[in-house]
Chain A
């Protein structure tokens, strides 16, 4: 079995994995980072979005070995101790979730949006989120959360 090495949430990890292991399986099953979710297996729902080298990526659509040498961050790596990342705080304060299953992927996608476009409009947010499904909220409070989070990230 090949060995894969990467940095996950700032810590170096290295494991033997079957070549067919998906990045999401590696994160969830090998590293126990179950905040990254699997909803569809086919890269529509976005519950599995993580950052690979700072850009959002669907971890169900990547092999673990493709992340060799990469910096990976997951929802578990965002908060600074007890202080939530501004985007996490925005979702919490704006009730941007009902069941919360899509939330980690939404937050990770939203942060990448704001890194790309620091002052997104409602339209920008809606277009960006096409790859993240939510079935509970009708996206209303998610859009509100991301607009608030974007402002907060600008400090």
Chain B
């Protein structure tokens, strides 16, 4: 599709849900009510680690207004011995996450739930549930969890033949690192830590579930996948998928954190037991204590470089917190860490470590920011050691088409090199810096993803278009789908309505996650729209009594072509819709695809900081993201991904962290003490979109949402070094940490 000829792809059209979102009409997870609706509430563990000897719910059940009380006995059990895989999740862990079974594994872990006629009564009922706990020693930090005498969370998890908190490993190898390091002129090895951070979506988890007398469940909830909600709820309640209708609400942010269920199965069971619709809404405190942040980590990265700037060997070891149940994103850390570079010898190893924290959930490029943080910091140091500009080192070692990545694939056409080139020549790089100001750079990679997507494109009787897809729209995907459909049909984008179907009205579609939505649903919608165009041409051919091959579709009209050119007046979409009945009936087509070819995304970020040396505050004064975006179908929402990811990275680097108290409880479960960036913390966030179209996608789309969170952590750390001459090896680089380093005059080099 030639850019110069595009009418809608690449245009900043008004989003279809814009009016609803600015007028308060949009319906989010907590906004739906039903007649007879009652309120569900979760009772949570007051201990970080405890055996549950017994639960007595009788007093709660007899409280007037209480309609149902449930415990893990009401949730489908899966033996911990055998995996039950659903997508990237394992349901033997999921059943234990939504409701503690043998043990309470973290402070805030659900142990029971109630449904009552008011929120007040539900609160009172929770207090009447008597749980007999045997309190156990607990562990929250990685170093403590991997000690030989650490409290063991799960006796059935073994590592090297013994019960362990190491639940799994992942290794990537390419070449031979020992030989590689022997060739190096300079070798730098450093160790790093990062703290767990929350996705920080502003909308807390919420749902409303109604189970009818014949056992059919309708679920309204805010999630990153209505089909995930249906499948997980089915597996945790034994209600068949065909009897569950999951209706996606508008989603108030997710960033990966809404790719699993917390409340939906509980509300379903409560509704089934009580015979009433049940609404459940988490408080912010519950979100912070008991939904999944991303992992904290410790890592060691060693890299060897020759004086000419070629990186000859790289080794990385990563320990990632899984939370209380296995499943940290080691694949992202280990697989993405070295992925921007063509390094002959690579060894990357990751460990999945359980401890008494809430189970982690996906967070934007899960694991990749952790992997890149260590590598991009070390690259800054090896560049300095050989006296070469860190961007020039990146350019020299940039992965390109044909590079064999350590995590497996041989890259097709990718745009990493172009992101570094763009950074090198950007005016940002020439702006002079003042005292206590510094500039840093870093790069990042994310795999991107394809997978299952369904779409339906219907022409209405008045000649307009309704497109239905199966993906919650988390960042403007409906606007992009409207652009693609309008482009293909050659009509004004305002004539295209884009809807998100529920599990009963559209075919299976995998999660909104992994930067897959526009890649996959763009393909499905293109396929459906092309089928519609074939049908429109056939109908015009029928009306004109000519061969369908002799009809062109152009600018919203069927036109006779070839030998028949000019013989008939063109037929518009409206005219063909009006004559649908006589030409074959309703006009529409669906597609259900398992998409492939979502090639990787790369970015390079440049960041300027100023450090207030009296207060230890690091201020971001300038920020530019350079990213290969494939094709910006809707540039504003692509830029929005780049800006949002950079802002989240700034929070992760500078302020955000989970703080635990001496009892193993989260001590900062709210936005007052868990400090996300506010508007006055940030400058305008500049973006440079580089379009290296993905050759395997009809519009050239690459995923764009994840990569923006990968480079910021190291870019900011490297900028602080440029400002102060102090290298930090842990996050966050918060005011107390920076002040302490300044006071100690701490300089690692």
Interface residue ranges, A against B (CB under 8 Å): 18, 28, 32-42, 44-45, 47, 74-76, 78-79, 84, 88-89, 91-93, 95, 97-104, 107, 122, 125-127, 129-143
Contacts and interface: CB of A to CB of B under 8 A. Distances in A.
Contacts of B324: none
A78 B25 CA distance: 12
Contact of A99 (B14, B27, B250, B284): B250
Given A39-B204, A140-B684, A97 B22 contact: yes
B456 interface: no
B401 to A, nearest CB: 32
Among B15, B24, B120, B201, which residue has the most Cβ atoms of chain A within 10 A? B24
Contact of B21 (A33, A100, A133): A100
Given A98-B476, A99-B474, A126 B203 contact: no
Main secondary structure of the interface of B (DSSP, over half): loop
Main secondary structure of the interface of A (DSSP, over half): loop
Given A34-B24, A134-B202, A127 B671 contact: no
Among B15, B18, B27, B255, which residue has the most Cβ atoms of chain A within 10 A? B18
A41 B284 contact: yes
B670 interface: yes
A95 B636 contact: yes
A136 B199 CA distance: 10
Nearest to A36: B24
A133 B639 CA distance: 19
B672 A138 contact: no
Contacts of A141: 636, 640, 643
Contact of A100 (B30, B250, B281): B250
22 contacts: A18-B120, A35-B26, A37-B252, A39-B203, A40-B284, A42-B670, A89-B22, A95-B637, A99-B201, A99-B203, A99-B254, A99-B474, A100-B26, A101-B28, A101-B203, A129-B678, A130-B680, A134-B679, A136-B253, A136-B644, A138-B645, A141-B636
B157 interface: no
B201 A135 contact: yes
A40 B671 contact: yes
B682 A138 contact: yes
B250 A102 contact: no
A28 to B, nearest CB: 8
Interface of B: 12, 14-15, 17-28, 30-31, 33, 120, 199-204, 250-255, 281, 283-285, 474-476, 636-637, 639-640, 643-648, 670-672, 676-680, 682, 684-685
Contacts of B202: 37, 39-40, 45, 47, 99, 101-102, 133-135
B405 to A, nearest CB: 29
A78 B33 CA distance: 24
A45 B204 CA distance: 12
B678 A137 contact: no
Nearest to B200: A135
A44 B670 contact: yes
B671 A34 contact: no
A101 B252 contact: yes
3 closest cross-chain pairs (CB), A and B: A35-B24, A101-B252, A100-B21
B644 to A, nearest CB: 5
Contacts of A129: 678-680
Contacts of A92: 14-15, 18-19, 21-22
B203 A138 contact: no
B252 to A, nearest CB: 3
Contacts of B19: 84, 92
A139 B648 CA distance: 11
A133 B671 CA distance: 9
A42 B671 contact: yes
Nearest to A32: B33
A91 B239 CA distance: 43
A36 B285 CA distance: 20
A22 to B, nearest CB: 11
Given A125-B679, A139-B647, 9 more contacts: A35-B25, A38-B281, A92-B15, A93-B14, A98-B637, A133-B671, A133-B678, A136-B253, A142-B679
B644 A138 contact: yes
A133 B644 contact: no
Nearest to A44: B671
A42 B637 CA distance: 30
Contact of B475 (A35, A75, A136): A136
Contact of A74 (B24, B26, B28): B24
A143 B204 CA distance: 24
A37 B203 contact: yes
B569 to A, nearest CB: 36
Contacts of B645: 138
